[in-house]
Structure 1
Amino acid sequence: MIFNESDLNKHWGLKSLEDLGIVQRGKSKHRPRNDSRLFENGTIPLVQTGDIKAANLFIYEANEFYNEFGLHQSKLWDEGTLCITIAANIAETAILKRRMCFPDSIVGFIPYKGKTTSLYIHYLFTYIRYRIQNSIQGSIQDNINIDYLTKLKFRIPEFAVQQKIAKVLSDLDAKIELNNRINSELEAMAKLMYEYWFVQFDFPFNFASTSLSTGAQGRPDVTLSGVEGYKSSGGKMVWNKELKREIPEGWEVKTLRKIAKTGSGGTPLSNKREYYENGNIPWINSGEVNNPFIISSEKKITKAGLENSSAKLFPKGTILMAMYGATAGKVSLIDFEASTNQAICAIMPNQDVYRYFIKFKLETLYEFLVNLSSGSARDNLSQEKIRELKFVLPDSQILDNFHKTISPFMAKILKNLKQNQELSTLRDWLLPMLMNGQVSVADAEERVEEELGMVAERRESYKKE
């Protein structure tokens, strides 16, 4: 089967992966694979299939690390190797940005010079991935092997055209990667500020100003001026019997129910087509709450679905907490009006100044919340447990200062997420047309330059604000 053949690209050469580069399976000889002896004091990054699926394009870091014993039963692959999954998440691809190991559930592809590039093959697999997955559905484990990969045939243009196609698509992905990294830095800075203010109680004692600006490539930069920390400057702390710890004088302890309203959603009957077909009301499930911010939802329900179920509409700015399953205890914030299923607790602050304060507080409680779960197979939290969570509240001026300081961070994160959505839509629109010859590279380059130019204009506009 030729997965990317069309009437428009039949003049391209017919190639297999083996014609284009070296194809080898990863190594993980030792059993069991999770033997702690492989990982104790490890420093050698180990990539798993989940890391590849989670990557947008490149893999910079890993979550697990082999030691020398682990490396001995595996293999180090060079930077630039294309990783292709053959188990669990089939035909997912990403490119190593440093030397790493990976197991035999992943195949490594190293392109022959002048034949192709890892980037081009990544985008080719992105295009044909779902056809590959559909072709093996129904097998015992829905896995493929290296023989399956090497027998695949593709229509491939000449090398110079491949390079241009890969550049058009990777320019979009590079911008997405940059936005993601900026967002990670912004979120880390916001969390650090919350930690100083409301965990260590070293909030600005003489608050003058805090400003967010953007430096090179739009990266965040925070400027603090005229600031002294309360606790480190000798601010008075008093013992709180309820919490069994010291808190700043004048602060009080309140449960979440005193500063926010909560609610939960529901699921319209799945056998009622009229509850889903042509729906335009966003409907969020607990799996989506794994993201700290949600700017859109793929699933929609109709007005009839909303009215004939326990699903409810929650306003923009609502904080969501997953109560069931793998994401139980995870927290997100929606930037649009949406409904949810019953596995989510919606938290609506009584005042805007509580919004980010509550979000960051709940995120710091993740481990505690997981332990609070009932212990059933679904690891349930409950609205009642969430309502009774305790918050140490400062005076209104401190809370207002925190909200004003943190709001530009959040606004920037949301802007970047929306830009990424636009860029991803353009990339996904161009990908099949470039891979089957439906659109010329020159036309695609023009469209990408136009879109990236608009992104740059929006960034300059943000700097001036």
Structure 2
Amino acid sequence: MTHLPQGWEVKTIEDVCKNSNSNLALKDIKDKSGDYPVFGASGIVGYVDFFHKAQECLGIIKDGAGVGRVFVLPKQSSVIGTLSYLENNETTNLKYLFYFLKNLDFSKYILGSAIPHIYFRDYKKEQMRIVKILDSAFEKIDKSVELLKANLANLDELAQSVLDRAFNPLGDSIDSTESTQNPSTHDTQSPYPLPQYWEWKTLGEIANTSSGSTPLRNRKEYWENGTIHWLKSGELNDSYINLVEEKITEEALKHSPVKLLDKGTLLIAMYGATAGKLGILNVQTTTNQAICAFLHKDSNNLKFFEKFLFYFLLSIRSKIISDSFGGAQPNISQAYIKSLQIPLPKDIKEQEQIAKHLDSTFERIKKLKELYNAQLQDYEELKQSLLTQAFSGKL
């Protein structure tokens, strides 16, 4: 099984072209004239009133000085006997064949000391030698690539495992004694037991939600020379939002149902291809209607830390997406978001500590992913380099 790139196949030179020889000698054309050129090692050596090859083909010097040199012969031309013809078949591009042979190292096939010769029978299998080299190299590269891809998949599993553990710290270690000592942490309505001083809350209990709007595009006064950031759902990046592409004016803020959100606000995309994407604002901005913002409740003593909630939503994103398919694309409603249950430490400092631990873990995972992806790119470039070397006769 070959490890060449998809769409490539193994062929010998004999498979893709036909070799033939000429019986013309210089003395045969010395006194001839005509419109059709005859080529020798140094170029055109005369003109005659006949031709051997009606179509373009290749000429290769097989005897004497310049042995192994290849060039393209024009239509209706011939060569003398120290050269051979190489004609491509219908599946091979002549110029491709020319560039391959032009850079082929023929020195290993040269015979004779006084007058060097090369024979088609010797170099016609050359592509097989190159393919064997490529095949061996690509097999090793492909094994390394498979290992890197497995490592990347393992990192994704590790990330999900770390998230699951963070929001279910008791995990499978919970026993009946611990449950009895902390009866308030678990009931028939709760997904799983929680540590002491944690409790189950819906997102609607701990936060207000709000979506944005798109000011009318045909109102120039809403967009021209705008100074207020306006964020689209496609700009959410599962990280901090530092840059926003578009801006609206004060007029748009006054006369449209857009809301100015403070730095530090947590956001989630609700519709379409970006549904479930998250972001935390590093700039004050407004948003479009496809973004839901989580806002603190003024009268609620139970507070949430944005990065803690960010990681919780990240941990259940696949569930959110699967629950939200009403059509071709997911559509997450604010009512659904408010109904989601979250395991919440009552002490916001504990939320901050958990988020800080997850920050550190995910930063290490991110760096490993960057390393593995860079190595994958290096292997792809190595393949291309090997192909270039093969094509230029350096293998």
TM-score normalised to structure 2 length:
0.46
Which structure is larger by alpha-carbon Rg, 1 or 2?
2
TM-score normalised to structure 1 length:
0.40
